[in-house]
Chains A and B, each alone.
Chain A
Amino acid sequence: MSSATDYLEPDVTAGAPAGGRRLRVAHLSAATLLVLLAIWWAVTASGMIAPLFLPPPAAVFERFIAVLTEGYVDSTLLEHLGASLARVFAALFFSAAIAIPVGFAIALSPVGRGILDPLLELLRPIPPLAYLPLVIIWFGIGEVSKVLVIGVAMLAPIALSTAAGVRSVAPDRLDAARSLGATRAQLLRYVIFPSALPEIVTGIRIALGAGWTTLVAAELVAATRGLGFMIQSAAQFLVTDVVIMGILVIAAVAFLLEAVVRVLEKIFVPWRGRL
């Protein structure tokens, strides 16, 4: 199936003729980042802004190496990163375990849609910082609250994507399987679930982004480790280079997670966009 994006963005879809343009786009992106870095360096080197507000790139990089090897607030950068990733993936696991069945229920049953759709629509627009206090009152300041705050932010994207995926199943494929004797359970397993899989993966990709964004909020309270915690501790003592370094690491990890999911997508959903 050739989708509209083939025509609109020939550079992001695989294909030999688009190769040249794809390369140029990559060059442009790299150049943009370099220019940004140069402006940052120039502004700090000229003394226009005090290092307290914006430390020079070199200082941030030195801090990156120092935190990587010696650590900051009792943990190294990798330990902070590990703590944050563990929370995000624990949240993803529980969230997917709930949201994928919820998505199926919304798409397949009017009763399911009637009950679950309004709940999701209520939950979706609430910013995590708004329900964080309530979560702490209910579940305390332990690890559970942190995972919960991240997990709640992931529910809606996964459930809604799953529901969209289930609804997009081709009626002919269902009819074909039925005419070959498929039971309801077999339809789910052989036709509906694989049909929905590309959308489910998209939901997980969006959820990872949403969860990662929620991380700093989740680590606001009583954490002793984590990238969000590290940034906040640094901010309290005006250690701006750690704050900026932490922000850059969060951005880089988000970018890497996205890339990893795209690779997984190619492996597990190779038919995506092809039929």
Chain B
Amino acid sequence: MPEKIDFSKVSFLIVDTNPLSAQLVRDILGMLDVTAVRTATNIERAQNVLRRDGVDVVITEHALGDESGVDLIDWIRNAADSPDRMTPVIMLTANSAQNYVMTARDKGVSEFLAKPFTVEGLYRRLVSVIARPRSFVNIDDYFGPDRRRRQVPYDGPERRSSDG
């Protein structure tokens, strides 16, 4: 029997300054039977929601007016007052140039999806963070999901504790 996701059990926070864009994501989640959706238009409000209510998954834009969704990720992953450093974060953004992707990845984004997006692309990211979560890595200057998605041959010294 195949695995299923009961999205009605999952709560979301959408962080986007564009109300239409946030509403579209909310409507898509609603079609998936999600009932617990919060929205925020800036980092401070997002932090308040996360501190007060806590959510299972954050979906954030990169461009948040004069702020950046990367700063929100940085706060979630590294701040002393972060309520949950391992909260899955999907970055859904029109800022899709490689430098944006790399910066988000290096701050600990769980999944990245460029706008314009397809519902299929969004669904795949939701499945990934809920049903196929990655291990986290904690090292000098990084705390976040394991950035090694592909298994490629590596001849250098093993530095990870799990590598023995």
**Mutual binders A and B:** no
Where the two chains meet, the residues of A that have a C-beta atom closer than 8 Å to any C-beta of B are none
